[in-house]
Structure 1
Amino acid sequence: MKRQKAQGWGPGEQAEQHYLVQPRALAGGGDLRHVSEFLRASGWRDRSRRNGPLVLDSPDRTVRIGYNPHVQPGGWTIHSKATAHQEAWTVSLGRQTPVEIVAGLTDALTRPRAAHAPSVWAPLQKQSWKTSRRDGYFGATSPDGAAWMEFRQDPGGQALWWSGARDEQGNGWSATFTASTPMHLVQAFSEALASPEPIMRPRGRVPYSARIRTTSVSVLPSQLGAWQQARVAAARAVTWARNSGAAGHLRTTARPYANPRTRARR
């Protein structure tokens, strides 16, 4: 049967099948540009070499973000130099960490810290994650058991944050945060991890797992471009406002995937 065009579709455009994936922690890595284009629009310098790993430096050159799939175990590394008010810190995230969850942390690097004290556990508890506590350990597990967030401290005083997700076959990713990682960044990560919003992936890029629920949607290339551009435009607007002294309370995020054509659910 020939697929009909919906009202408002552009001339000559063909809808493409995508899937909204839940839980988001098991959606797979995704398009790196979701992270990198936002940072570039926020004034970060691209230090990547041609055909080499992704490397981006913050405007003040204190933080470097890299993605390298060509080493083992590969994935994301975020490192900050020590400053007068902050110890050096490092975050490592596996290559299958969804870029939308990575962006929860990296987007936060482009914004000033909030005045209120951060709480890593509040976003998880809000989404009914199960928490547990014992000596030197505090953890939370998602209601479906697929994802976790933990804080560990060994008898020698070494501490770290550990997070990740696994499906029933053991496939997934993990992330570690040194104990010196600023708490507002760990909270930004936990918010993105616990978010109930689905993540969109194109056909052929959805991991196979019995734990994954998908909704099939028809998406136009122009829609995908508009969603990506809206995110970049928001970053540019905030960067311009900050540099011009007119920052105020500009919105830096938009509700993703507005109005795709829903087809089916599994």
Structure 2
Amino acid sequence: MSRKQWQGWGPGEQAEQHYLVEPRALAGGGDLRHVSEFLRASGWRDTSTPGGPLLMESPDRAVRISYDPFVVPGGWTIHGKATGQQDEWWAQLGRQTPVEIVAGLTDALTHPRSARAPNVWEPLQDQHWSTEPLPGHYRATSPDGSAWMQFHQDGHGSAMWWSGARDQQGNGWTASFSATTPMHLVQAFSAALASPEPAMRPRGRVPHSAAIRTTSVSVLPSQLSAWQQARITAARAATWARNSVRSNRPRTARPHAHTGGARARH
């Protein structure tokens, strides 16, 4: 285990010990606020009740996100309503799914969809995951073998995405996505899953696993606050920009038919 010390400490602050954990897929759940505060800053409603599970709802009420640790197996549930050409969809992520990976999916819910066709496997291949096409499914595995992403389709045409991470002691998590889950969201998840960036965990919150590597770092509370605030500020700025574009779009008056007072249909 190595140790690093951050520079630029101010007077009157006591450094706190944290750990950078690699691979991030085995870093444990983490702080839920990494997900919820970003969504709140992006205009999502927090409908949680005191002492109950976390419940978030998108501004258009089309998507709901919950985190419930009080049920078995517990964890994250994301549900999207059928809208327009999009069928109803869902995703379920286990309780120990790192919040950094959950946020890969939930952050993407607040961003405009890219015009580029999504490719779930591209982020994994970019990080040198091995791929294995088999009858009925396609699987990618991380270089250390601890994490995987799989697409499965049975003989009846039913399909599902399945992912997760596990160490030799059996610690880990799984995630599943309906076949109707928008592909750009599944790709956002796979990119966060494959990211080589470590996850930071405070002392006492590091999983006991022989499969992880840790680097001890001394961090000031003000630094942690600044990093968290930067993420929230970015979400607010993006939300403001989107709302400004919508409000500044010129509105075209709908023409009316002159006969019978009825509106002309296009």
Using the size of structure 2 for normalisation, the TM-score is: 0.89
State the match for 1:259 in structure 2: none
Q: Which whole-Å deviations, capped at 9, do the CAs of 1:112-148 have from their partners, x for residues lacking one?
A: 1101100000000010101001221000000000000
State the match for 2:22 in structure 1: 22
Structure 2 spans left out of the alignment, 5+ residues: 248-266
Distance in 2 between the 1:76 and 1:62 partners? 17
The CA deviation at 1:157 is 1.2
State the match for 2:34 in structure 1: 34
Q: Which whole-Å deviations, capped at 9, do the CAs of 1:140-185 have from their partners, x for residues lacking one?
A: 0000000000000111111100000001101100000000000000
The CA deviation at 1:217 is 0.4
Letter of the structure 1 residue corresponding to residue 201 of structure 2: R
Counting only pairs closer than 5 Å after superposition, residues 203-218 of structure 1 correspond to structure 2 as 203-218=203-218
State the match for 1:99 in structure 2: 99
State the match for 1:128 in structure 2: 128
Structure 1 spans left out of the alignment, 5+ residues: 248-266
Q: Quick check: 2:6–2:219 contact (8 Å CA) kept in 1?
A: no
The CA deviation at 1:8 is 3.2
Distance in 1 between the 2:7 and 2:179 partners? 53
The structure whose RCO (Cα within 8 Å, separation 6+) is larger is 2
Q: Which whole-Å deviations, capped at 9, do the CAs of 1:2-21 have from their partners, x for residues lacking one?
A: xxx97632221110110000
SS at match of 2:170: coil
Letter of the structure 2 residue corresponding to residue 200 of structure 1: M
Provide closer, same or farther for how the CA distance between residues 138 and 213 of structure 1 changes in structure 2, counting only shifts above 3 A. same
Q: Quick check: 2:6–2:217 contact (8 Å CA) kept in 1?
A: no
Counting only pairs closer than 5 Å after superposition, residues 137-216 of structure 1 correspond to structure 2 as 137-216=137-216
State the match for 1:50 in structure 2: 50
Q: Larger C-alpha radius of gyration, 1 or 2?
A: 2
Distance in 2 between the 1:138 and 1:6 partners? 43
Cα RMSD, aligned residues only = 1.3
Q: Is 1:113 aligned with 2:113? A: yes
Using the size of structure 1 for normalisation, the TM-score is: 0.89
Percent of residue pairs bearing the same amino acid type: 75
The CA deviation at 1:197 is 0.5
Letter of the structure 1 residue corresponding to residue 38 of structure 2: F
The structure 1 segments of at least 4 consecutive aligned residues displaced by more than 4 Å after TM superposition are none
Distance in 1 between the 2:52 and 2:174 partners? 23
Q: Which whole-Å deviations, capped at 9, do the CAs of 1:84-118 have from their partners, x for residues lacking one?
A: 11000000000000000000000000001101100
Distance in 2 between the 1:108 and 1:6 partners? 31
Distance in 2 between the 1:6 and 1:139 partners? 40
Distance in 1 between the 2:61 and 2:246 partners? 23
Letter of the structure 1 residue corresponding to residue 180 of structure 2: S
Distance in 1 between the 2:149 and 2:107 partners? 20
Distance in 1 between the 2:240 and 2:113 partners? 18
Letter of the structure 2 residue corresponding to residue 233 of structure 1: T
Distance in 2 between the 1:115 and 1:28 partners? 34
SS at match of 1:104: helix
Distance in 1 between the 2:6 and 2:180 partners? 51
